[in-house]
Chain A
Amino acid sequence: MSDKNAIRVLIAKPGLDGHDRGAKIIALGLRDAGMEVIYTGLRQTPEKIVQAALQEDVDVVGLSCLSGAHKYLFKRVAELLREKDMGDVLVIGGGIIPDEDIPYLKEQGIDRIFKQGTMIKEIADYIRQKVDRPA
């Protein structure tokens, strides 16, 4: 049963990276935390991700990338969201993201990078705090 007030989250795997353990457990975990979660599956282009975000009218886009292509792919997703007037969607990310790249990603509009080992509870709390929804 879907809750109309539930926060809507799109968990996406941009690029060709096939490591989806993290994306899947976060999708499952956020769903158990009461959010509406859409998981894109592997190999999504930034265009497809943004289209899905638009269609599903999500509050949050969570990006996962372990291949090293995050700088281009995350930036592109954030760019396209702004182009589609979805600049208010919260964009967060994770995967194997070197610390050195985090300031760059923040400048591009990625609100926060969650490092390996982050508890799903922490991500859920962060989303709830950032997404303004009547309880």
Chain B
Amino acid sequence: MTENIEEIKRRKQEWEKKVLKPALDRFFMKQSPNKYYSPADIEGFNYLKDVGLPGGYPFTAGTYPVVPYVPAQRGGLPKGSGLVRAAVYSGYGTAEDTRDYYKMLQQNGQRGGPNLAFDLPTQCGYDSDNPYVRGDVGKTGVAVDTLRDFEVIYEPFTGELELDKIASNFTINAPANMVLAMYFALAEKRGLALDKLRGTPQNDILKEYIARGTYIFPPRPAMRMVRDSIVFLTKYCASMNINQLGGYHIRGAGATREQDLAYSMANMVAYVEEGLKAGLDVDDFTQKFTVNAFGGSMEFFKEIAFQRAARRLWARTLKERFGAKKERSMLLRQAGLYANMGNENCTTQRPLNNLVRSTVGGIASALSGGMPLLYPPYDEPLGLGWSLEASQLAQDGFRILQYESKLTEVMDPLAGSYYVESLTSEIEDAARLELDKITEMGGAVACVENGYMQRAIAKSAYERQKRIESGEDLIVGVNCFVGEGELEVLPTRLVPHPYDPVKRENAEERQIKNLSKIKQSRDNTIVSRLLGELKTKAKDENENLFPHLIECAKAYVTLQEMCDVLREVFGEYQPIGLW
């Protein structure tokens, strides 16, 4: 900075007195509704140290030197040549229903692999025929009980869309290793090498305890499962990502911006430590961690600064705390969406307003280093899945921001802004303080066990609700502008989602039949032997269970059978009380 900071501070004080004050007096205001930033707010700012070039340490300016994505035809995902992308998050009812959905997408030109949404019984390690999970089978995603279901889902993926030519995503967490084992078993049956498989499992168990709720085992044995996957994937699956961190879930559960960043970082630190404890070098595996759309709120500049702060904090943590040497290990790798509006900020009231909100999110995403994606489609909060119209408008929004507004012409366009740089440091510092506090308390695992993070998030969620109820925080159409003079605009969803409601209703029944057939046709002697061996191996903390889980999967051992054995050995997580 060439300016004289002292001079700027003096001039600002003078301006506040002589210019600002009379203006405020004229409007009977005590405090200005607008802040104004100057070089005095970023004293000591060092461009090379604090921002750097896109794709270079500390990655404030961007994870990569380019954003190669371009909008594609509807139903396809944005892609640049050479990029292998998975499809939109999807999964319906039974394996057959999901297979048919992907067939339809392929007929419409889709070339990506499946980005699988699983139903809750699968995510919680239960089979479809368990009476305990009745009502949930095939909802929120596809039911996967055994390898059979993967065989069916992947029927359309052969030839030029063979498993080793597409990328698959699995949002699966607690039973990630068992479900990956099924995927690997499928690949082996097709004669494909594991090191050629591409894909990303979401295996972020710590955020399940604090934000998303699909846990099975207590945190420590669950972290052993994460360790197994880090070690196994590093060794045998060189083309796969190891773990996708949950991203927006923690914010969605109610965390503040700073808590979100601190807890996400604390969780990632815990995963890094698992890999290190298992004897890996930090540069061997952290480059295979990814993040799914961090953050999420309507506060435009703060979300942009949050993204920049997150990249910088992660890079600095990897370098300074863990001594990473490769720059690639320090990357906070996110999918295309960066800053975003946050699903939880969608309103059911006048739902088309969500299109405006997601547009703001799309602009923030582009200005923070991602694609100008509009997410989610405006009918997200209405249930029943997104309509095709809402998806079309979301995709058009992306195209408009990309081609008409040319938002991606410049990388990190807000770099050097006194306000945004000051905000970036503020968010990074606040998150680091909280991260240090968690470290002092024993790290993320200890803070899940003692309920610190869960309670802090619930408290923040409640504080937010109180601000909404008091009118301190305003949500248009919800707690303000709701009088008789307003028009309650309702959208029409004329083009429904292709998943047939009748199929949705009877998916549970059909899936139970599928499972029953498998249980009758498989060799149950082998199943019992494998489960017995699983129990023995699980008792040995040093044993990596992955190879044996693949053997179980090949023998059509069900997900719940594997999980039940581990429940016996590991126990089950008991959630922390609310007060």
Chain A residues in the interface with B (C-beta under 8 A): 15-21, 24-25, 27-29, 31, 39, 41-43, 45, 67-69, 71-73, 76, 96-100, 115-117, 119-121
Contact = CB atoms under 8 A, between A and B. Distances in A.
Contacts of B134: 72
A16 B124 contact: yes
A73 B466 CA distance: 29
- The interface size bin for chain B is 35 or more
A20 B135 contact: no
Contacts of B139: 67-69
B349 A15 contact: no
Interface in B390-409: none
Interface in B463-505: 465-466, 468-469, 475, 478-479
Contact of A45 (B132, B381, B461): B132
Contact of A120 (B253, B458, B469): B469
A73 B133 CA distance: 10
B213 A98 contact: no
Contact of B120 (A15, A21, A24): A15
A18 B208 CA distance: 8
Interface string B126-139: 10000011111001
A120 B124 CA distance: 30
Contacts of A97: 383
Contacts, number: 104
Interface of B: 120-121, 123-124, 126, 132-136, 139-140, 208, 212-214, 252-254, 344, 347-349, 381-384, 458, 461-462, 465-466, 468-469, 475, 478-479, 575, 577-579
A21 B461 contact: yes
B252 to A, nearest CB: 7
A18 to B, nearest CB: 2
Contacts of B475: 117
Given A21-B253, A98-B383, A15 B136 contact: yes
Contact of B213 (A17, A28, A73): A17
B383 A68 contact: yes
Given A16-B124, A21-B344, A98 B578 contact: no
B578 A28 contact: yes
A15 B213 contact: no
Contacts of A121: 469
Contacts of B577: 39, 41
Contact of B135 (A24, A43, A73): A73
B381 A96 contact: yes
A68 B578 contact: no
Nearest to A23: B578
Contacts of A117: 347-349, 475, 478-479
16 contacts: A15-B120, A15-B135, A16-B120, A17-B136, A18-B213, A21-B254, A24-B462, A25-B462, A39-B578, A68-B383, A72-B135, A96-B383, A116-B348, A117-B478, A119-B468, A119-B469
A25 B465 contact: yes
Contacts of B469: 119-121
Contacts of B253: 19-21
Contacts of B124: 16, 43
Contacts of B382: 96, 98-99
A98 B496 CA distance: 14
